[in-house]
Amino acid sequence: MSSTASATGSTSTPRHAEVAGAGFAGLTAAIALARSGWSVRVHEQNDTLRDFGAGILLWRNAMLALEVIGVAPRIKAEGVVPDAYATSLNGEMFTPELAGYPYWAITRPRLHAILVDAARDAGVDLVTGSKAVAAEPSGVLVLEDGSRLQADLVLACDGAGSAVRNSRPELVQERKKYQDGVCRVLVRRPEEFQGEEWDRVIDYWTLEPDAMRILFITTGPDTIYMGMMATTDNERASQIPIDPEVWSARFPHLAPVIELAAEATGGRHDPYQTNRVEPWSAGRVVLVGDSAHAMCPALGQGASVGMVNAVELAHVLSEHDDLGTALAVWEDRQRAMTDAAQARSAYMAETRTLARGNGFTPEVMETANFELAAATPEHLA
Protein backbone atom coordinates (compact mmCIF):
# COMPACT_ATOMS: atom_id res chain seq x y z
CA MET A 1 0.00 0.00 0.00
CA SER A 2 1.08 3.60 -0.39
CA SER A 3 0.47 6.55 1.86
CA THR A 4 0.79 10.28 2.06
CA ALA A 5 0.22 10.71 5.76
CA SER A 6 0.79 14.25 6.95
CA ALA A 7 3.23 14.96 9.72
CA THR A 8 3.27 18.71 10.22
CA GLY A 9 2.65 18.83 13.95
CA SER A 10 0.94 22.20 13.45
CA THR A 11 -2.15 23.04 15.44
CA SER A 12 -4.37 23.28 12.36
CA THR A 13 -3.51 19.86 10.88
CA PRO A 14 -4.28 16.92 13.12
CA ARG A 15 -1.27 15.02 14.30
CA HIS A 16 -0.97 11.64 12.62
CA ALA A 17 -0.27 8.23 14.16
CA GLU A 18 0.59 4.96 12.42
CA VAL A 19 -0.14 1.98 14.65
CA ALA A 20 1.31 -1.51 14.11
CA GLY A 21 -1.12 -4.14 15.41
CA ALA A 22 -4.89 -4.21 15.94
CA GLY A 23 -4.83 -6.06 19.25
CA PHE A 24 -6.26 -4.70 22.47
CA ALA A 25 -3.42 -2.21 23.06
CA GLY A 26 -3.29 -0.99 19.44
CA LEU A 27 -7.04 -0.49 19.15
CA THR A 28 -7.29 1.19 22.55
CA ALA A 29 -4.45 3.59 21.72
CA ALA A 30 -5.97 4.29 18.31
CA ILE A 31 -9.41 5.07 19.78
CA ALA A 32 -7.95 7.28 22.52
CA LEU A 33 -5.78 9.23 20.07
CA ALA A 34 -8.59 9.61 17.51
CA ARG A 35 -10.93 10.86 20.21
CA SER A 36 -8.39 13.52 21.14
CA GLY A 37 -8.12 14.78 17.58
CA TRP A 38 -5.38 12.70 15.96
CA SER A 39 -5.69 11.08 12.57
CA VAL A 40 -4.91 7.40 13.10
CA ARG A 41 -4.24 4.40 10.89
CA VAL A 42 -3.89 0.90 12.29
CA HIS A 43 -2.15 -1.95 10.46
CA GLU A 44 -3.20 -5.53 11.14
CA GLN A 45 -1.11 -8.27 9.56
CA ASN A 46 -3.99 -10.76 9.50
CA ASP A 47 -6.70 -10.58 6.86
CA THR A 48 -9.43 -10.18 9.45
CA LEU A 49 -9.82 -8.16 12.63
CA ARG A 50 -10.26 -10.59 15.49
CA ASP A 51 -8.83 -11.99 18.68
CA PHE A 52 -8.41 -15.65 19.55
CA GLY A 53 -11.14 -17.68 21.22
CA ALA A 54 -10.74 -17.35 24.97
CA GLY A 55 -11.94 -15.05 27.72
CA ILE A 56 -10.55 -12.23 29.80
CA LEU A 57 -11.06 -10.73 33.22
CA LEU A 58 -11.23 -6.93 33.40
CA TRP A 59 -10.46 -5.39 36.78
CA ARG A 60 -11.06 -1.79 37.82
CA ASN A 61 -8.02 -0.38 36.02
CA ALA A 62 -9.07 -1.91 32.70
CA MET A 63 -12.68 -0.83 33.11
CA LEU A 64 -11.54 2.74 33.80
CA ALA A 65 -9.44 2.75 30.63
CA LEU A 66 -12.43 1.41 28.71
CA GLU A 67 -14.62 4.04 30.37
CA VAL A 68 -12.26 6.81 29.17
CA ILE A 69 -12.57 5.61 25.55
CA GLY A 70 -16.34 5.25 25.85
CA VAL A 71 -16.73 1.47 25.54
CA ALA A 72 -17.32 0.45 29.17
CA PRO A 73 -21.13 0.57 28.84
CA ARG A 74 -20.98 -2.05 26.08
CA ILE A 75 -18.61 -4.22 28.11
CA LYS A 76 -21.05 -4.07 31.01
CA ALA A 77 -23.97 -4.93 28.72
CA GLU A 78 -22.24 -7.78 26.89
CA GLY A 79 -19.95 -9.14 29.61
CA VAL A 80 -20.79 -10.55 33.05
CA VAL A 81 -19.89 -10.04 36.68
CA PRO A 82 -18.94 -13.46 38.07
CA ASP A 83 -20.63 -14.23 41.39
CA ALA A 84 -17.41 -15.28 43.13
CA TYR A 85 -13.83 -16.42 42.65
CA ALA A 86 -13.54 -19.95 44.03
CA THR A 87 -10.37 -22.00 44.25
CA SER A 88 -10.18 -25.76 44.64
CA LEU A 89 -6.93 -27.50 45.58
CA ASN A 90 -7.02 -31.32 45.67
CA GLY A 91 -10.80 -31.20 46.04
CA GLU A 92 -11.01 -28.65 48.83
CA MET A 93 -12.92 -25.53 47.75
CA PHE A 94 -12.40 -22.05 49.20
CA THR A 95 -13.78 -18.70 48.12
CA PRO A 96 -11.66 -15.72 49.13
CA GLU A 97 -13.38 -12.42 49.77
CA LEU A 98 -12.76 -10.02 46.86
CA ALA A 99 -14.80 -7.11 48.18
CA GLY A 100 -13.48 -3.81 46.89
CA TYR A 101 -12.02 -5.38 43.75
CA PRO A 102 -14.79 -5.43 41.16
CA TYR A 103 -14.16 -7.38 37.95
CA TRP A 104 -15.95 -8.26 34.75
CA ALA A 105 -15.57 -11.23 32.44
CA ILE A 106 -16.06 -11.22 28.69
CA THR A 107 -14.89 -13.28 25.73
CA ARG A 108 -11.83 -11.95 23.97
CA PRO A 109 -13.55 -11.99 20.53
CA ARG A 110 -16.39 -9.88 21.97
CA LEU A 111 -14.06 -7.36 23.63
CA HIS A 112 -12.14 -7.14 20.37
CA ALA A 113 -15.30 -6.60 18.29
CA ILE A 114 -16.40 -3.82 20.67
CA LEU A 115 -13.03 -2.10 20.28
CA VAL A 116 -13.14 -2.44 16.48
CA ASP A 117 -16.60 -0.81 16.42
CA ALA A 118 -15.37 2.02 18.66
CA ALA A 119 -12.28 2.52 16.49
CA ARG A 120 -14.45 2.82 13.38
CA ASP A 121 -16.80 5.23 15.19
CA ALA A 122 -13.82 7.37 16.18
CA GLY A 123 -12.70 7.58 12.54
CA VAL A 124 -9.67 5.26 12.82
CA ASP A 125 -8.50 3.84 9.49
CA LEU A 126 -8.16 0.05 9.96
CA VAL A 127 -6.05 -1.72 7.33
CA THR A 128 -5.91 -5.53 7.26
CA GLY A 129 -3.31 -7.70 5.53
CA SER A 130 -0.77 -4.99 6.32
CA LYS A 131 2.32 -6.20 8.17
CA ALA A 132 4.63 -3.71 9.84
CA VAL A 133 8.26 -4.84 9.94
CA ALA A 134 10.26 -1.87 11.24
CA ALA A 135 10.20 1.73 12.36
CA GLU A 136 12.59 4.67 12.36
CA PRO A 137 12.91 7.27 15.15
CA SER A 138 12.17 10.06 12.65
CA GLY A 139 8.60 8.73 12.59
CA VAL A 140 8.56 6.19 9.77
CA LEU A 141 6.67 2.91 9.87
CA VAL A 142 8.00 0.39 7.36
CA LEU A 143 5.66 -2.27 5.97
CA GLU A 144 6.55 -5.68 4.59
CA ASP A 145 5.76 -4.49 1.05
CA GLY A 146 8.40 -1.76 1.42
CA SER A 147 6.00 1.18 2.02
CA ARG A 148 7.41 3.85 4.30
CA LEU A 149 4.72 5.74 6.18
CA GLN A 150 5.58 9.06 7.83
CA ALA A 151 3.85 9.97 11.08
CA ASP A 152 4.14 12.24 14.09
CA LEU A 153 4.08 9.08 16.19
CA VAL A 154 4.56 5.40 15.36
CA LEU A 155 3.05 2.99 17.87
CA ALA A 156 4.42 -0.55 18.00
CA CYS A 157 1.50 -2.56 19.36
CA ASP A 158 2.52 -5.74 17.57
CA GLY A 159 2.74 -8.01 20.57
CA ALA A 160 5.37 -9.82 22.61
CA GLY A 161 7.33 -10.80 19.52
CA SER A 162 7.13 -7.25 18.08
CA ALA A 163 8.97 -6.96 14.76
CA VAL A 164 8.84 -3.18 15.03
CA ARG A 165 10.51 -3.21 18.46
CA ASN A 166 13.07 -5.74 17.25
CA SER A 167 14.06 -3.36 14.46
CA ARG A 168 15.27 -0.81 17.07
CA PRO A 169 18.43 -1.91 18.89
CA GLU A 170 18.14 1.03 21.31
CA LEU A 171 14.95 -0.57 22.76
CA VAL A 172 16.69 -3.18 24.88
CA GLN A 173 14.66 -6.19 25.96
CA GLU A 174 15.10 -8.85 28.57
CA ARG A 175 12.99 -12.00 28.15
CA LYS A 176 12.32 -14.61 30.73
CA LYS A 177 10.37 -17.86 30.36
CA TYR A 178 8.72 -19.63 33.27
CA GLN A 179 7.99 -23.26 34.09
CA ASP A 180 4.30 -23.20 33.16
CA GLY A 181 2.18 -22.44 30.15
CA VAL A 182 -1.54 -22.20 29.53
CA CYS A 183 -3.96 -23.57 26.93
CA ARG A 184 -6.81 -21.11 26.55
CA VAL A 185 -10.12 -22.14 24.96
CA LEU A 186 -13.68 -20.97 24.85
CA VAL A 187 -16.30 -23.69 25.20
CA ARG A 188 -20.02 -23.58 24.46
CA ARG A 189 -21.77 -23.73 27.78
CA PRO A 190 -23.71 -26.98 27.80
CA GLU A 191 -26.93 -27.84 29.57
CA GLU A 192 -25.17 -29.35 32.60
CA PHE A 193 -23.22 -26.15 33.20
CA GLN A 194 -26.22 -23.82 33.26
CA GLY A 195 -26.57 -23.93 37.07
CA GLU A 196 -25.58 -20.89 39.06
CA GLU A 197 -22.56 -22.70 40.49
CA TRP A 198 -21.05 -22.04 37.05
CA ASP A 199 -21.71 -18.28 37.14
CA ARG A 200 -18.39 -17.92 38.93
CA VAL A 201 -14.69 -18.19 38.44
CA ILE A 202 -13.61 -21.67 39.61
CA ASP A 203 -9.92 -22.41 39.72
CA TYR A 204 -9.20 -26.15 40.04
CA TRP A 205 -5.61 -27.09 40.95
CA THR A 206 -3.54 -30.18 41.52
CA LEU A 207 0.16 -29.84 42.31
CA GLU A 208 1.17 -33.54 42.43
CA PRO A 209 2.85 -35.22 40.66
CA ASP A 210 3.19 -31.99 38.70
CA ALA A 211 1.10 -28.81 38.52
CA MET A 212 -2.06 -28.89 36.42
CA ARG A 213 -4.88 -26.49 36.73
CA ILE A 214 -8.21 -25.75 35.06
CA LEU A 215 -9.50 -22.21 35.48
CA PHE A 216 -13.15 -21.77 34.55
CA ILE A 217 -14.38 -18.25 33.98
CA THR A 218 -18.00 -17.65 33.12
CA THR A 219 -18.32 -15.34 30.15
CA GLY A 220 -22.11 -15.34 30.08
CA PRO A 221 -24.93 -17.81 29.46
CA ASP A 222 -23.43 -19.19 26.24
CA THR A 223 -19.74 -19.69 26.90
CA ILE A 224 -17.14 -20.60 29.50
CA TYR A 225 -13.51 -19.63 29.19
CA MET A 226 -11.13 -22.41 30.26
CA GLY A 227 -7.49 -21.65 31.07
CA MET A 228 -5.68 -25.00 31.34
CA MET A 229 -2.26 -24.59 32.89
CA ALA A 230 0.52 -27.18 33.01
CA THR A 231 4.30 -27.27 33.12
CA THR A 232 5.65 -26.78 29.61
CA ASP A 233 7.62 -30.03 29.86
CA ASN A 234 4.29 -31.86 30.20
CA GLU A 235 3.93 -31.88 26.43
CA ARG A 236 0.58 -33.65 26.22
CA ALA A 237 -0.98 -31.07 28.53
CA SER A 238 0.63 -28.16 26.65
CA GLN A 239 -1.03 -28.53 23.29
CA ILE A 240 -4.02 -27.40 21.29
CA PRO A 241 -6.33 -29.16 20.59
CA ILE A 242 -6.67 -30.20 24.23
CA ASP A 243 -5.75 -33.84 24.89
CA PRO A 244 -8.83 -35.02 26.85
CA GLU A 245 -7.13 -38.15 28.18
CA VAL A 246 -4.30 -36.43 29.99
CA TRP A 247 -6.58 -33.76 31.48
CA SER A 248 -9.40 -36.13 32.50
CA ALA A 249 -6.92 -38.44 34.22
CA ARG A 250 -6.09 -35.59 36.61
CA PHE A 251 -9.58 -34.03 36.85
CA PRO A 252 -11.95 -37.01 36.44
CA HIS A 253 -15.01 -35.13 37.74
CA LEU A 254 -14.49 -32.50 34.99
CA ALA A 255 -14.31 -35.05 32.15
CA PRO A 256 -17.52 -33.88 30.36
CA VAL A 257 -16.34 -30.29 30.11
CA ILE A 258 -12.79 -31.38 29.22
CA GLU A 259 -14.37 -33.21 26.25
CA LEU A 260 -15.90 -29.89 25.19
CA ALA A 261 -12.53 -28.17 25.56
CA ALA A 262 -11.00 -30.83 23.32
CA GLU A 263 -13.57 -29.98 20.62
CA ALA A 264 -13.08 -26.21 20.91
CA THR A 265 -11.67 -24.34 17.95
CA GLY A 266 -9.73 -21.08 18.03
CA GLY A 267 -7.84 -21.69 21.27
CA ARG A 268 -4.11 -21.40 21.78
CA HIS A 269 -1.23 -22.37 24.04
CA ASP A 270 1.29 -19.86 25.37
CA PRO A 271 4.24 -20.40 27.67
CA TYR A 272 4.33 -17.97 30.58
CA GLN A 273 6.88 -15.27 29.82
CA THR A 274 7.96 -11.83 30.78
CA ASN A 275 9.43 -9.34 28.40
CA ARG A 276 10.87 -6.19 29.93
CA VAL A 277 11.98 -3.40 27.58
CA GLU A 278 13.80 -0.21 28.39
CA PRO A 279 13.23 2.47 27.26
CA TRP A 280 9.75 2.31 25.76
CA SER A 281 10.42 4.84 23.03
CA ALA A 282 13.01 5.95 20.50
CA GLY A 283 12.33 9.34 18.95
CA ARG A 284 8.85 9.14 17.41
CA VAL A 285 8.52 5.37 17.95
CA VAL A 286 6.78 4.12 21.07
CA LEU A 287 5.96 0.62 22.35
CA VAL A 288 2.51 0.02 23.83
CA GLY A 289 1.19 -3.30 25.18
CA ASP A 290 2.94 -6.67 25.06
CA SER A 291 5.72 -5.30 22.83
CA ALA A 292 6.79 -3.29 25.90
CA HIS A 293 5.76 -5.45 28.83
CA ALA A 294 4.44 -8.96 28.17
CA MET A 295 3.74 -10.62 31.49
CA CYS A 296 2.61 -13.93 32.97
CA PRO A 297 -1.18 -14.24 32.95
CA ALA A 298 -1.38 -15.22 36.62
CA LEU A 299 -2.44 -11.71 37.68
CA GLY A 300 -5.06 -11.47 34.91
CA GLN A 301 -3.58 -8.10 33.94
CA GLY A 302 -1.51 -8.58 30.76
CA ALA A 303 -3.91 -7.01 28.26
CA SER A 304 -5.31 -4.61 30.83
CA VAL A 305 -2.00 -2.93 31.64
CA GLY A 306 -1.51 -2.44 27.89
CA MET A 307 -4.93 -0.80 27.56
CA VAL A 308 -4.27 1.42 30.59
CA ASN A 309 -0.91 2.52 29.20
CA ALA A 310 -2.51 3.22 25.82
CA VAL A 311 -5.17 5.50 27.30
CA GLU A 312 -2.61 7.25 29.51
CA LEU A 313 -0.35 7.84 26.51
CA ALA A 314 -3.09 9.63 24.59
CA HIS A 315 -3.86 11.69 27.68
CA VAL A 316 -0.25 12.77 28.22
CA LEU A 317 0.06 13.65 24.52
CA SER A 318 -2.92 15.97 24.91
CA GLU A 319 -1.22 17.68 27.87
CA HIS A 320 2.21 18.30 26.30
CA ASP A 321 2.86 19.73 22.85
CA ASP A 322 6.42 18.52 22.86
CA LEU A 323 6.49 14.83 21.93
CA GLY A 324 9.73 14.03 23.75
CA THR A 325 8.39 15.57 26.95
CA ALA A 326 5.10 13.70 26.63
CA LEU A 327 6.80 10.33 26.11
CA ALA A 328 9.15 10.92 29.05
CA VAL A 329 6.30 11.95 31.36
CA TRP A 330 4.23 8.96 30.24
CA GLU A 331 6.98 6.39 30.74
CA ASP A 332 7.83 7.91 34.09
CA ARG A 333 4.18 7.66 35.24
CA GLN A 334 3.45 4.18 33.91
CA ARG A 335 6.77 2.40 34.45
CA ALA A 336 6.54 1.70 38.19
CA MET A 337 2.99 0.33 37.94
CA THR A 338 3.93 -1.80 34.92
CA ASP A 339 7.16 -3.16 36.45
CA ALA A 340 5.24 -4.04 39.62
CA ALA A 341 2.53 -5.85 37.62
CA GLN A 342 5.18 -7.85 35.76
CA ALA A 343 7.00 -8.69 38.99
CA ARG A 344 3.79 -9.73 40.76
CA SER A 345 2.56 -11.88 37.90
CA ALA A 346 6.01 -13.51 37.68
CA TYR A 347 6.02 -14.17 41.43
CA MET A 348 2.53 -15.68 41.25
CA ALA A 349 3.57 -17.83 38.30
CA GLU A 350 6.77 -19.00 39.98
CA THR A 351 5.20 -19.80 43.33
CA ARG A 352 1.75 -20.82 42.00
CA THR A 353 0.37 -18.88 44.92
CA LEU A 354 -3.14 -18.82 43.39
CA ALA A 355 -3.42 -22.54 44.24
CA ARG A 356 -3.69 -21.57 47.88
CA GLY A 357 -6.62 -19.28 47.09
CA ASN A 358 -5.19 -16.23 48.80
CA GLY A 359 -3.40 -14.76 45.80
CA PHE A 360 -5.40 -11.57 45.63
CA THR A 361 -3.73 -9.68 48.45
CA PRO A 362 -4.03 -5.88 48.70
CA GLU A 363 -0.46 -5.59 47.43
CA VAL A 364 -1.25 -7.73 44.39
CA MET A 365 -4.42 -5.75 43.76
CA GLU A 366 -2.55 -2.43 43.58
CA THR A 367 -2.42 -3.02 39.81
CA ALA A 368 -6.21 -3.24 39.64
CA ASN A 369 -6.55 -0.10 41.74
CA PHE A 370 -4.10 2.02 39.74
CA GLU A 371 -5.48 5.54 39.36
CA LEU A 372 -5.54 6.70 35.74
CA ALA A 373 -4.52 10.28 35.08
CA ALA A 374 -6.92 10.20 32.11
CA ALA A 375 -9.93 9.35 34.28
CA THR A 376 -12.17 12.21 35.35
CA PRO A 377 -14.68 12.12 38.24
CA GLU A 378 -17.36 11.34 35.62
CA HIS A 379 -15.45 8.19 34.54
CA LEU A 380 -15.15 7.16 38.16
CA ALA A 381 -18.85 7.64 38.92
**Chain residues that interact with ligand 3HM, rule: CB under 6 A:** 57, 182, 215, 227, 229, 297-298, 300
Smaller CB separation from ligand 3HM, 300 or 357? 300
Q: Is 322 exposed, middle or buried (0-12, 13-18, 19+ CB in 10 A)?
A: exposed
Residue closer to ligand 3HM by CB (options 62, 298) is: 298
Smallest separation (angstroms) from ligand 3HM to the CB of 301: 8
Residue 17 contacts residue 156 (beta carbons within 8 Å) = no
Which lies closer to ligand 3HM via its Cβ, residue 35 or residue 110? Answer: 110
* Residue with nearest beta carbon to ligand 3HM: 300
Nearer to ligand 3HM, 69 or 295 (CB): 295
Q: Within 10 A of 3 (CB to CB), how many other CB atoms are there?
A: 16
Tell which residue, 301, 179, 187, has the closest CA to residue 237.
Answer: 179
- Shortest CB 322 distance to ligand 3HM, Å: 38
Q: How far is the CB of 348 from ligand 3HM (least distance, A)?
A: 7
Burial profile 60-79: b = 16 or more Cβ within 10 angstroms, e = fewer: bbbbbbbbbbebbebbbebb
Nearer CB in complex with ligand 3HM: 64/153:
64
Cα separations (Å) of 89 from 51, 211, 261? 31, 11, 21
Q: Which is nearer to ligand 3HM, 57 or 62 (CB)?
A: 57
Least distance from ligand 3HM to the Cβ atom of residue 323, Å:
35
Nearest distance in Å: CB 230, ligand 3HM? 11
Residue type, 75: I
Tell me how far apart the alpha carbons of residues 98 and 178 are, in angstroms, rounded to a whole number.
27
The CB density around residue 128, as the number of other CB atoms within 10 Å, is 13
Omega of the bond leading into 209 within 30 degrees of 0 (cis): yes
Cross-strand pairs, 186: 225
